[in-house]
Amino acid sequence: MQSVQEKYGSEALHVEPHGIDPISPNERHGKPRSLFTLWFSANLEFATLTLGLLAVGVFGLSFWQATTATVIGIVVGALLMGVLSTFGFKWGVPQLIQSRAAFGFFGNFFPGILNFVSGIGWYTVNTVLGVYALQYLLPIGFLPDLIIMIALQAMISIYGHNLIHSVENWSAAFLAVVFVIVTIYAFPHINFNVPENMKTVGIFGGTFASFILSVGVALSYMMGWMTYTSDYSRYLPENTSKGRAFGYVVLGNIIPCIWLELLGIGLSTFRTTIATPTDLIAGILPKPIAVIVMLAIILGTITANVLNIYSGSMSLLSIDVKPVRTIAPKRWIAALLVGILGGILSYIGFKTNYYSNYSNFLLVLGYWISPFIAVVLCDYVFIRHSRSDISMFYEGSGRFKAGFWAFLIGFIVSIPFFNQTMYVGFIAKAHPAIGDLSYYVSFAVAFVLYFFFNGVQRSKATSD
């Protein structure tokens, strides 16, 4: 008799029975092209578009400076995501379980907690935008519309992996057509020659500082996905082409992100009064088309947030201790918990001051993800690349391994370079013109230290 897990297969309307356990070979299915539609749809959302506003509207760059900074951040992030996606079908386990091999069973709890919080944070950011769009169509109040958005998103996430891929696949064409229409209407209004706002740039320490901050914000958006990537490729057959999977993930992120973030930059060059984020586009569209676009914003919110809820629940389950198992004994319960907590935060934290809160959230997000990704990449490239034994992810030794210490030291060393409105480190304060270099410092330090720590361990093991 087949088990429940074996019956799941590719069925979209069955609740996924798997949590953080590995996907066996007889349950593997799908083609790498599904990774393109998944990431393409997830990024064709209004949060991606509003991100473009920050480089001009918040950091004061010119159109072309903002464009260059944004493209750099997107491309670097997409390439890293492409690499990370290949880990999923190699081992068949979620991203936050793979990192146990480097961090140790208990050491991995820290990034697990942080990624759980990040998932809720992204869910919050996107949900608020969806609620603004829903209010345009259904003006019954912020809270009632918020409850509707929570219900729609939670339902898909509870069903899990297969329904998520199905929704992303069917949404891609509709979202693409709608944003093509928005682009056509916006293009004649864009001021490609908008200059730097020297007053605003001066607040951040000069042109270079604003440029670095803009690169960092675009990269942070991509970093928000990096800790999820294997969650959506782990059902693919183990013999899936790494090159094809890499290419589909890179294109699925680069195309929509560059498109919508540059559109956001363009919109910010002529929209001066923005009471709510949806004002960016509502004023340039005829009423019938505006209604369709608001529907697309709602759908885009859902396509992004089902990933945040699903992977947020995986992160919660990776903190494998009795209190967590009691609160969330199954994946779908963990997903429901993420949806509820994110909904509460949406009402409290992002109903007002959206753009300020959004930019701060993006910068803070990258502070921990950068050293985390450095350790994971170093671990894969130099240590685990040829290993296929997944017991290293489930051994439960309880140890704090070298990756945890490299991550922690990399993060601490980068603190003096923090440069955002909530906190400015002493190096950034003394040299404001450098912007925020913390991502790059923490990545380099964590990568080098982890490589060194493992070299020491190997030398010691050889001598013993």
- pLDDT tens for 153-197 read 988 999 999 999 999 999 999 999 999 999 998 888 888 888 888
Residue 352 is which amino acid?
T
Which pLDDT score is estimated for 354? 60
- Over residues 58-67, the pLDDT tens digits come to 889 999 999 9
* 447 falls within a domain: no
* SS3 category, 55: helix
Asked whether 415 and 427 are in contact (CB, 8 A), the reply is no
Any domain includes 16: no
Sites in the chain below the pLDDT cut of 70? 1-7, 271-280, 282, 349-360, 362-363, 386, 396-398, 456-464
User: Domain with 173 in it: what CATH number?
Assistant: 1.10.4160.10
What span, in angstroms and rounded, lies between the C-alpha atoms of 5 and 433? 55
Judge whether 193 lies within some domain.
yes
pLDDT of residue 288: 86
Per-residue pLDDT reduced to its tens digit, 101-143: 999 999 999 999 999 988 888 888 788 888 888 988 899 988 8
Residue 459 located in a structural domain: no
Report if residue 140 sits inside a domain: yes
Give the domain range for residue 134: 29-357
Q: What is the pTM of this model?
A: 0.89
Q: In 269-383, where does DSSP find H-type helix?
A: 279-282, 287-318, 322-327, 331-349, 354-379
Residue 273 forms part of a structural domain: yes
403 neighbors 107 (Cβ within 8 angstroms): yes
Q: Which amino acid is at 90?
A: K
CB 186 within 8 A of CB 284: yes
pLDDT for position 5 = 46
CA-CA distance, 51 to 219, in Å (whole number)? Answer: 11
- Are 60 and 198 spatial neighbours (Cβ–Cβ below 8 Å)? yes
Domain count, the chain: 1
Whole-angstrom distance, CA of residue 390 vs CA of residue 459: 24
pLDDT at 50: 82
Tokens, residue 361: 């959230």
Domain assignment of residue 277, yes or no: yes
Position 120 scores a pLDDT of 85
3-class DSSP state of 420: strand
Q: Is residue 311 part of a domain?
A: yes
Mutual orientation of helices 354-379 and 63-91 as an angle, nearest 10°? 40
Question: For the chain, how far is it from start to end, CA to CA, in angstroms?
Answer: 50
